[in-house]
Amino acid sequence: MAGLVPAIHVFLLNLMMWMPDDRAGHEMKTKRIFPVIDLYTWTTPNGRKVSIALEEFGLPYTVHPIDISKDEQFAPAFLKIAPNNRIPAIVDRDTNIALMESGAILIYLADKTGKLMPKSGEGRYRVIEWLMWQMGGPGPFLGQVHHFVKFNPGKSAYAEERYAKEAKRLWGVLDRRLAEVEYVAGDYSIADIAIWPWISRFAWQTVDFAEHSNIKRWYMAIAERPAVKRGWDVLKEGRAIPIP
Ligand X SMILES: N[C@@H](CCC(=O)N[C@@H](CS)C(=O)NCC(=O)O)C(=O)O
Interface with ligand X by CB under 6 A: which residues?
Answer: 44-46, 68, 73, 86-88, 101-103, 139
Q: How far is the CB of 166 from ligand X (least distance, A)?
A: 17
Measured from the CB atom, is 49 or 177 closer to ligand X? Answer: 49
* H or E element at residue 159: helix 157-180
Distance CA 190, CA 194 (A): 6
Measured from the CB atom, is 32 or 239 closer to ligand X? Answer: 239
Largest CA distance in the chain: 74
Q: How far is the CB of 17 from ligand X (least distance, A)?
A: 26
Q: How far is the CB of 132 from ligand X (least distance, A)?
A: 11
Q: How far is the CB of 142 from ligand X (least distance, A)?
A: 11
Q: At what angle do helices 213-223 and 157-180 cross, to 10 degrees?
A: 80
Helix (H, G, I), strand (E, B) or coil at 62: strand
Measured from the CB atom, is 73 or 189 closer to ligand X? Answer: 73
Measured from the CB atom, is 59 or 66 closer to ligand X? Answer: 66
Q: Enumerate the β-bridge partners of residue 89.
A: 40, 100
Q: Do residues 66 and 43 touch, judged by C-beta distance below 8 A?
A: no
